Amino acid sequence: MSNLAENMTEDTEFVFLKLFTTGSGSVYSFATFLAFLGPLAGITLGFDAVTSERSQGTLNRLASQPIYRDSILNAKFLAGTAVIFLLVFVLGGYISGVGLIRLGIPPSFEEVLRVLVFLLLAGVYLSVWMALAVILSVVCRHAATAALICISVWLFLSLFMSLVASGIANAVYPLDGFAGLMNVESNYNLTLALNRISPYYLFSEAASTILNPNVRSIGVVTASQASGAVASSLPLEQSLLLIWPHLVVMIALALLGFAAAYVVFMRQELRA
């Protein structure tokens, strides 16, 4: 809140959105917190969804009940997704309520819509990690194995993917010497494309765009494209046009993970 007060003296526009993007030296901003540590919630809800039933011997009893076999996995996935969205929206409402009490400045209608879109993005993002955890829970025989694989993938995509992307881009399009001047744009585009493989980068890029109306583009903007542009904030509709590919990709990843877990689970043999 102290850092937010300092930012308000410099920029008084869209103050309510700064509740979700302002941090301090020791505390993450809310958006960064969800981007980096939020996947642990999805992993926790999914890594033992099936392995715990199998290890306790209750999966056979559950499958012997007069219900369809696919209802087991559907219930696991839908229950986890419901908990994720409930958690995200409760946290967002809590941050909004505390900020409203401390600031005393009510949000505009556009700020409320932007916060809701951001929370929707966060729920989809965490569902992607839960889908990964569920499919590993179906494939792996032990919950510890599924958890270790999920955590390894999370750490790699969140911390090391940018290093790998930069290394590959520098190897393909070197930036040394005179030829490097010609490779700057190609190097950046390849780095950006490789980084967007990570759901962490997709969510961070989309969240920064929707919570900061001053972000006018994603990617490279040439001087000819920037010439004549009026420096102003984007309306919500234009910001949504920038991030809709990110949202579509994350929804597709969640559905793909669930579909893969569904196919593997339906083909597995349940033994007593």
pLDDT tens digit sequence for 178-191: 666 777 788 888 88
pTM: 0.87
Whole-number pLDDT of residue 225? 47
Show contacts of 35-40: CB within 8 Å, 24+ apart.
35/125, 35/200, 35/203, 35/204, 35/207, 36/158, 36/200, 38/88, 38/122, 38/125, 38/126, 38/129, 39/125, 39/126, 39/129, 39/154, 39/158, 39/200, 40/154
Which residue type, as a one-letter code, is found at position 251?
Answer: I
How much of the chain exceeds pLDDT 90, in percent? 29
pLDDT: which is higher, 24 or 37: 37
**pLDDT by residue (tens digit) across 114-148?**
999 999 999 999 999 999 999 998 888 888 888 89
pLDDT: which is higher, 146 or 217: 146
Whole-number pLDDT of residue 12? 61
Whole-number pLDDT of residue 219? 66
Averaged pLDDT, 233-240 = 84
Residue 120 structure tokens? 């929707």
Residue 26 has pLDDT above 50, yes or no: yes
Unique residue bearing structure tokens 């999920």: 150
Whole-number pLDDT of residue 50? 82
**pLDDT by residue (tens digit) across 218-236?**
766 555 445 555 566 788 8
